[in-house]
Amino acid sequence: MRVNRRNLVLGGAALGLMPGVAQALAAPASQEWRFDNLERIGGHAVTPVGQPGLTSSPWGQAVLFDGVKDALLIDNHPLAGAKNFTFEALFRPDGGAFAQRWFHLESLTEPELKPGSGTTRMLFEIRVTDGGWYLDAFATGPGYKQTLIVPTKLYPLGQWHHVAQSFDGQHYRSFVNGELQMETALPFAPQGPGRCSVGARLNNVDHFHGAVAMARFSPRALL
C-alpha cells in the first residue's frame, strides 16, 4: 500500500513530510487537541496526575511527562460513535521503560469498571529498546481485538514523530511518519462515550517518558 502523505494532518514540514500535508486540517467533524497547557485540552477540562510540565516543540508548547508518575486525565472519548476513524498524534519519546502506554481512549461500561479495565478501548503504546522505539497500536471491543506492532521498525528517541492509526471500514492500519507499519482486516464497531488518559494507562501504570504536542481525531480514514 502506498501512503498518500498529503493526507497526513499533523506535523507537515516540521517532520520532513511533503509540503501541503497540513491542508486537511480544515476537514469538518474532527477534533484537534493541542497540548499547550495543563487546564483544558480540546475544550475539555484536564486532571493532571503527578507533576507534568510544559516544554517547547516545533508547534509551540507541549506537555512533558516524566515516565514515572505523570499523566493527564480527560473525561472524553473523542472517537465515540465513529464507524471509521483516524487517530493521530505528534509526540517525542525520550526513552525510559520498555512498555509505555501513552494515549488511552476507553468507553464507559454499565456497571462501570475501574478506569483502565474497560473492554472497549483504543491505544497508542511504544516499546523502548537500546536501538530506539517501535509503535504498538491497539483496538478492542465487542467482537474484535487487534494489536498492530512491528518490532523490526525502529525509530530514534529524542525526536518528534507523527503516529497514526486508521480504520476505513475494512482494514485497520498503523503508521509512523507516514510509513505504513502494519494492516489487517478488522470487524470494528463504533465505541461508546468514555474517557482518556495521556502519559499513562487509565489505571496509572505504564507511564510515558517524553512529550506530546498535538492529537487529532477524525471520523474518516485519512490514511
Radius of gyration of the chain (CA): 16
> Cell numbers at residue 188, please?
470494528
Best CA proximity match to 86, nearest among 32, 44, 43: 32
pLDDT of residue 16: 44
Domains, the chain, with CATH or none: 31-218 (2.60.120.200)
Distance between CA 191 and CA 85 in Å, rounded?
Answer: 11
Residue 131 is predicted with a pLDDT of 85
- Cα–Cα distance, 116 to 43 (Å, whole number): 23
Residues of the chain with pLDDT under 50: 1-8, 12-28, 110-111
pTM of the full predicted structure? 0.87
Q: What is the pLDDT of residue 215?
A: 98
